[in-house]
Structure 1
C-alpha cells in the first residue's frame, strides 16, 4: 500500500528532477567513456572536500525534523526520523579522510600540487548554501515531515548514481581508487536499505496526510535539484583543476 501511495501521490512531483540525473550535461561529461581521467579524479576530490559542509549537519537536521514532526502529531514518522538520525552521525569524517587520500594520490602524479586543508576550507557554492537552507526551512516550516522526502531523494541518489560513478572511477583510475572512495562506496551499499525504509516512511506519511503530497513531493524534488547543482559545481571545479594543470 505504501509503495502505491508513493507512486501515485509523490512520484509525479519528482519525475522531472530525477530525469535531470540522466540528462545533466556536467554529469554526462563525467561518465563519458572518453573522459579525461583527471576530471574524474578532480571530481572525487571536490565531491568529498566540499561535501563535508553538506554532510556534517545531516544527523542534526533529521533529528530536529523528527522532533518537529512528533510535535505536529505524526508520531510514528517523527520517531522513525529521530532513530534514522543516529545512523547518519559522523559520515562527514569519511569525506575528510577520502579528501586526504585522494589529494595524496593526485599529488603523486599530477600538478598543480593540492592542499587538502585548503580544499576542505573552500567557500561554499550557492548550491551548498541552498542545501543547508532547504533543510532549515523544512524543519521550521509547516511540514517538517517533508524531511522524509529529502532523505528519500538524496539516499536514492546513492543507489542510482554511485554505482556508475564507481565503475567509471575504477575504469579510468584503476581499482585501487576504491581505497579513497569509502564515503561513496559505503553509501552505495547502505542506502539501498535506507531508501527502502524511506519509502515505507513516505507511504505512512502520505496515508496520514495525503493532502500534503504536493508540498512533500516538491520538497524532495527541490532537494534533488540542489544536489545535482552541487555535483555540477564539483565537475566545474574539477575542470578548473585541469586548466591549472595545463597552464
Structure 2
C-alpha cells in the first residue's frame, strides 16, 4: 500500500492534500500539532469516502518528535512512500527586534523539520527503491521576501537549497525531491493577519484554491513524475507582483 505522511495535514492546504492523496489511493498519516478536532474529523471524512487515514500528533520542529512521528506512521499504516512537509510557522519580526527564540522556532518547523523527517523516512525508501518527497517553500525564499520576515525567508531559502542537494543525493535510488511554492492561499495563518491585510492581498494577487496546490503535489507523487526532481514549482497563476 502507498503511504503518505502529510505534516500540518489537518487544516488549509494540508487538509486539501490529505483528501486528494487519500483519493489517489494513499493511506494518509495526517499529522497535526494542536488541531486534534480538525484532524479527527478529517480522518473520519476520509474513511467515510472509502479511504484509509490516521491522525498523529507531533511537533515536527522537535527532532525526537519528528522521528517518532515517522515511526508511528509506519506502525499504523506502513513505511511512508511519500513525505509531504507542509507544516510551517511564520513569526514576523525585524532582525533588530525578533527574539532568538522566535528565530529558532521558525527555522525549526520550516527547515530543520524537513531534515528530521527525511532522515527518518529515507531508509525505508532506499530499501524499497522508490519514494517521493515534497517540501513546501515560499516566494519569500528568493523572489519576494517581505519586510520583517527574515527568519521565514531564510528558512524557506534553506529548504530550496536542501531540495536541490537531496534530489542529487537520491537520484539513483528511485526517489524524487521537489519543492512546491504556493501563491496566495487564504489559510488560517494568512487570515490571522486581519481583514485589511486580506483585502490588500486580494487586490494584488489571485487567490489560489487549496485543491489546486494539492493537484500539483498529487502529480509530483505519481509515477508520471519519475523524472521530475530538484525542482521548485510555483502554484500561483503568474506569480506574486
Q: TM-score, normalised by structure 2?
A: 0.31
Q: 1 or 2, which has the higher helix percentage?
A: 1
Q: 1 or 2, which has the higher strand percentage?
A: 2
Q: TM-score, normalised by structure 1?
A: 0.31
